[in-house]
A and B are shown apart, each in its own frame.
Chain A
């Protein structure tokens, strides 16, 4: 999917976003929600960068920062060599032509009182020099067609469309100005699986046609694997691991990535009981009061003394084949999922054969595919059997599921100290 050019188009450096927590009668700042706390990465031209993480890890805030919908507490975002946050209003508006966003919820991100034509055409109103007034209607119709909607629906309102169709409208609006970067904040999470595949395929097609670079923010690791060239895994406002799709999914070195991957259910009942599952205890701690040192140490089964004191840096660490960035003191590669390469045309062949059957023709090479599949299944089973004997079920020892904080805990005391020393934040 990646373009030949590997020079970065978007570079984020040490991005930090803290939201103040107001409390007391005087509405003073009593603390901060550390939504994004020092995130650096680069997005290359024409690539898809997946950002995954659980709710509250700061991935959506990161997306909004990249668009400058939020001002950062500190840090920079360079777009094509230009510092985004140093730009004034009108300059920023011009820059936004090249960075657009598609929001998660297709039900609330479209104005219910505007027609589809108005919504998709609005970018042209803000940037009138892109398409002359006369050609706008036609441009909107072309966009609708591009995303698979009927151009005749230009005068309809959002409520007349289904969820998947609305997400297509959001995408049409996002690509109207032919941006270089499209930030997609959970674009398919609200959709049913059959419709989700349509939208994912559409996004892949648009990328090929327009050379778009995507920042694809999602919590669904399967979708992210499918669409991404490189992947960043976030936990509590920090990047835990960052690498190519293969590096993250086949050679993860961060315990959090390993636990996350092992928790995703795989739609294959034959793997039941054979899959290694790392069961994490408890929930994600509050970003208002993140654990000291490595933020994952409270749920990590590998945590030692150093993890509670030193923040591990996101640097290249060996992963067996090479090295990729991982923020863990005890980074060690561990394969948690068995990847099967299906880039062949098994799926389409099967489809064609069924079609042939239904049409009453004799399908060519009938038993062959089954034979190959059978052989593969046997081989996979053998691998699994041998892996099974080595399998160990891990449980993280410490748990952090208390929403109320134990006043004696080091976290609580540290938080107390922070508040006392720096009451204004």
Chain B
């Protein structure tokens, strides 16, 4: 492989290496009616119950949800790193550039992880191997996927560490993960994830463990890299502030389903699902004073025993009989901007405010 000093921008540089071509309008990833369940001793926990979304090149899709909403499981299903068993994917498809990852042979799928789709994890300390130098771990991507020799791969690792703004990268390529601060470790994770110029980057709560000043640095870096490489970015988070700053589109998840999907400006301006509305009203805002917090009452349901009808009905303040009986599908909101979808019987009314 003679790609040691390849320029940035994957499409031209890797035209020969990649077997995948994005769709006509830059469509990279389609998740179609995805279901994931976990078979446990207590029964079947339905973590994902029919999730649909797509992702285009250069776009940032935020998946917003609280703990247990299935946002991380969705990411793991796309990456193919779910433990199966206990996890099982009974239905659905995940198409990358038109090819279903779920039906692909394992060997072929393994080759997509890294060059095509890669992922940044929340906890950099436990995601990095403590007994290998960070440079070695970054270089591993080049050795395994590109068959590079050790010195070329290490040179690439240094280049990447410089790209993610780690000071004195040359000296620190042999340092171990524990010798770095939290923010620097997260940069190393990002370096590993972008090493092979992936088309899709999944960031699972990339800044949750970091302080705000460091969070701002990391988010700025991610935005810069995305712009530079025209990656499709899936940002998984629970932080409505971070989402407002970077996302193009938002999918709000609750109980393993997408409750609402909208353009970022639309969603914050006029939520069309009571859960989104409740979330927006329950966060204190830095730039507001005298604000009343209205909490969403109750707790998310147990995934082993999902409620009948709409999953959100036990906590919904607008609940009607129909909500207890019929599960609303994710459909277009009447009278709203095109592309807005909500899984609520009364989405029109909620949207109208």
Which of B42-50, B215-223, B333-341 forms part of the interface with chain A?
B215-223
A401-B284 in contact (CB<8A): no
Closest CB in chain A relative to B138 CB, distance in Å:
18
| Distance of B58 from chain A, by nearest CB (Å) | 17
- A223-B284 contact, Cβ under 8 Å, with A269-B265, A354-B318: yes
Query: Among A61-69, A108-116, A314-322, A338-346, which stretch is in contact with chain B?
Result: A338-346
Most-contacted residue by chain B among A269, A340, A351 (CB, 10 A):
A269
Asked whether any CB of chain A lies closer than 8 Å to the CB of B1, the reply is: no
**Quick one: CB contact mask for A392-406 with B, threshold 8 Å, 1 for yes?**
000000010111100
Cα(A281)–Cα(B297), bound, Å: 41
> Can you name 20 A-B residue pairings with CB atoms under 8 Å?
A198-B296, A198-B297, A219-B212, A222-B286, A223-B284, A225-B284, A249-B286, A249-B289, A260-B212, A268-B287, A269-B245, A269-B268, A272-B244, A340-B287, A341-B288, A345-B292, A348-B292, A351-B294, A404-B175, A404-B179
Q: Could you give, for residues 337-375 of chain A, a 1 whenever the CB lies within 8 Å of some chain B CB and a 0 otherwise?
A: 111111101011011011101100000000000100000
Interface residue? B5 (CB, 8 A): no
Chain B residues with Cβ below 8 Å from A284 are: 211
CA distance A196 to B320 in the complex (A): 26
Beta-carbon nearest neighbor of A52 in chain B: B212
Indicate which residue in A165, A197, A345 contacts B295 across the interface (CB closer than 8 Å): A197
| Set of chain B residues within 8 Å of A268, measured between Cβ atoms | 244, 268, 285, 287
Q: Say if the beta carbon of A261 comes within 8 Å of chain B.
A: yes
Q: Which 6 A-B pairs have the closest CB atoms?
A: A343-B290, A265-B241, A197-B295, A197-B282, A226-B284, A54-B211
Q: Bits for B281-307, please: 1 = Cβ < 8 Å to A, else 0.
A: 111111111111111110100000000
In A400-423, the 8 Å CB interface with B consists of 401-404
Most B C-beta atoms less than 10 A away, residue of A197, A339, A341, A403: A197
Once the chains bind, are A193 and B244 in contact (CB under 8 Å)?
no
Contact of B287 among A281, A337, A402 (CB under 8 A): A337
Residues of B near A263 (CB, < 8 A) are 212-213, 215-216
Contact B291 A347 (CB under 8 A): yes
Of A225, A279, A401, the residue contacting B181 (CB under 8 A) is A401
Q: Is the CB of B181 within 8 A of A222?
A: no
Most B C-beta atoms less than 10 A away, residue of A245, A337, A370: A337
* A341 adjacent to B213 (CB under 8 Å): no
**CA of A358 to CA of B277, assembled, Å:** 14
- Surface stretch bound by A, among B15-23, B152-160, B189-197, B345-353: B345-353
Q: Is the CB of B212 within 8 A of A192?
A: no
Check B278 against A194 for contact (C-beta < 8 Å).
yes
For A271, the chain B residues whose CB sits under 8 A away are: 244, 287
A195 contacts the other chain (CB 8 A)? yes
The yes or no answer to B228 lying at the interface (CB within 8 A) is no
Among B166, B211, B238, chain A packs the most CB atoms within 10 A around the CB of B211
- Give Cα A280 to B219, complex, Å: 13
Interface membership of B308, Cβ < 8 A: no
Q: Is A424 an interface residue (CB 8 A)?
A: no
Tell me if A267 counts as interface (CB < 8 A to partner B): yes
In the complex, what distance in Å separates the CA atom of A412 from the CA atom of B219?
Answer: 31
With both chains docked as a complex, state the minimum distance between the C-beta of B150 and any C-beta of chain A, in angstroms: 24
- Does A266 reach chain B (CB closer than 8 Å)? yes
Q: Which residues of B contact A162 (CB under 8 A)?
A: 299
Chain B contacts for A355, CB-based, 8 A: 317-318
Kindly list chain B residues whose C-beta atoms are within 8 Å of the C-beta of A260: 212-213
Contact-residue size bin, chain B (C-beta under 8 Å from the other chain)? 35 or more
B312 to chain A, nearest CB (A): 11
Chain A residue numbers with a CB within 8 Å of B245 are: 265-266, 269, 272
Residue contact A221 to B295, C-beta cutoff 8 Å = no
| Alpha-carbon separation in the docked complex, A351 to B269 (Å) | 14
The reply to whether A219 and B211 contact each other, CB–CB distance below 8 Å, is: yes
**B242 on the interface (CB 8 Å rule)?**
yes
A281 to B183, CA, bound (A): 11
Shortest B152–chain A CB gap in Å is 26
Q: Given A192-B66, A268-B244, answer yes or no on A402-B214 (Cβ-Cβ < 8 Å).
A: no
For B240, list chain A residues within 8 Å (CB): 193, 267
CB pair A266 B284 closer than 8 Å: no
Residue of chain B at shortest CB distance from A285: B181
- Contact, CB under 8 Å: A225 / B289: yes
B291 lies within 8 A of A358 (CB):
no
Contacts A201-B295, A263-B216 known; A403 to B211 CB distance under 8 Å?
Answer: no
Query: Is the Cβ of B286 less than 8 Å from the Cβ of A55?
Result: no
Cβ 8 A contact of B280, one of A267, A279, A338, A404: A267
Nearest chain B residue, comparing its CB with the CB of A56? B211
Contact pattern, B 160-197, Cβ under 8 Å of A = 1, otherwise 0: 00000011100010010001111110000000000000
Asked if A261 contacts B286 (CB within 8 A), the reply is yes
> Contacts A264-B212, A265-B241, A279-B216; is A194 near B279 (CB within 8 Å)?
yes
Q: Which of B67, B172, B288 contacts A192 (CB 8 A)?
A: B67
A195-B295, A197-B294, A341-B290 given as contacts; is B317 within 8 A of A403 (CB)?
A: no
